[in-house]
Chains A and B, each alone.
Chain A
Amino acid sequence: GAVVSQHPSWVICKSGTSVKIECRSLDFQATTMFWYRQFPKQSLMLMATSNEGSKATYEQGVEKDKFLINHASLTLSTLTVTSAHPEDSSFYICSARMAGGLRGREQFFGPGTRLTVL
């Protein structure tokens, strides 16, 4: 149980285009989902916290107009990188927090999406 999927796993796009990344909790309801960015051999940097049905909370320094987050249901959150540029190339990982229960504190991570902007 507690599986999180991401789609796509790898995307290459041209500079100036927008890319949407989906994060789904497959077998549980996630009250909260988180989006992280990870550069090679570096840590996970929290970008934003997404609660179902409400606006995402962005960390300081993260442009909310560039990284659009939508959390339309308890099992799906999307991250859209708008007008992507080469510096947006990175590994984007989502995580989902299970609603309540003994595992209510644990975050379950998706497999990540590697974005390459040419």
Chain B
Amino acid sequence: GENVEQHPSTLSVQEGDSAVIKCTYSDSASNYFPWYKQELGKRPQLIIDIRSNVGEKKDQRIAVTLNKTAKHFSLHITETQPEDSAVYFCAASIMAGNQFYFGTGTSLTVIP
């Protein structure tokens, strides 16, 4: 099955700096890659996603890049704010199969 690895496991940045989280996946058939944000004690919320026919997608301060050949994708958060502090999970999915396989998570702390 699919194996998703995520790095780093923890990340601290100063407010205003950028944060980058990287994920790799093993199944070349995976073609949908969502990113979820989970605040303490709350449910995961989708923040951005990318399909394999696209190399990059941006939504305001958040962007995701995908390298299909290398089987890795990254989340970029610019101009970080304290409210960005949370755990971020990447996931990989084969669109026809539905299942999401999550990475191990990155705990992001934005220091005011």
Residues on A close to B: CB < 8 A?
Answer: 4, 32, 34, 36, 41-46, 49, 59-60, 93, 95, 97, 105-107, 109-112
Q: Does B73 contact A (CB under 8 A)?
A: no
Cα(A112)–Cα(B100), bound, Å: 17
Would B46 and A112 count as touching, CB distance under 8 A? no
Main secondary structure of the interface of A (DSSP, over half): strand
Would A32 and B1 count as touching, CB distance under 8 A? no
> A-facing mask of B97-112, CB < 8 A → 1, else 0?
0111111110100000
Q: Which of B43, B45, B99, B105 contacts A49 (CB 8 A)?
A: B99
* Between-chain CB contacts (< 8 Å), 30 pairs: A4-B43, A34-B99, A36-B102, A41-B105, A41-B107, A42-B104, A42-B105, A43-B89, A43-B102, A43-B104, A43-B105, A44-B44, A44-B102, A45-B102, A46-B101, A49-B99, A59-B1, A60-B1, A93-B43, A95-B100, A97-B98, A105-B32, A105-B34, A106-B49, A107-B34, A107-B100, A109-B36, A109-B43, A109-B44, A109-B45
Q: Which of B43, B89, B98, B102 contacts A111 (CB 8 A)?
A: B43
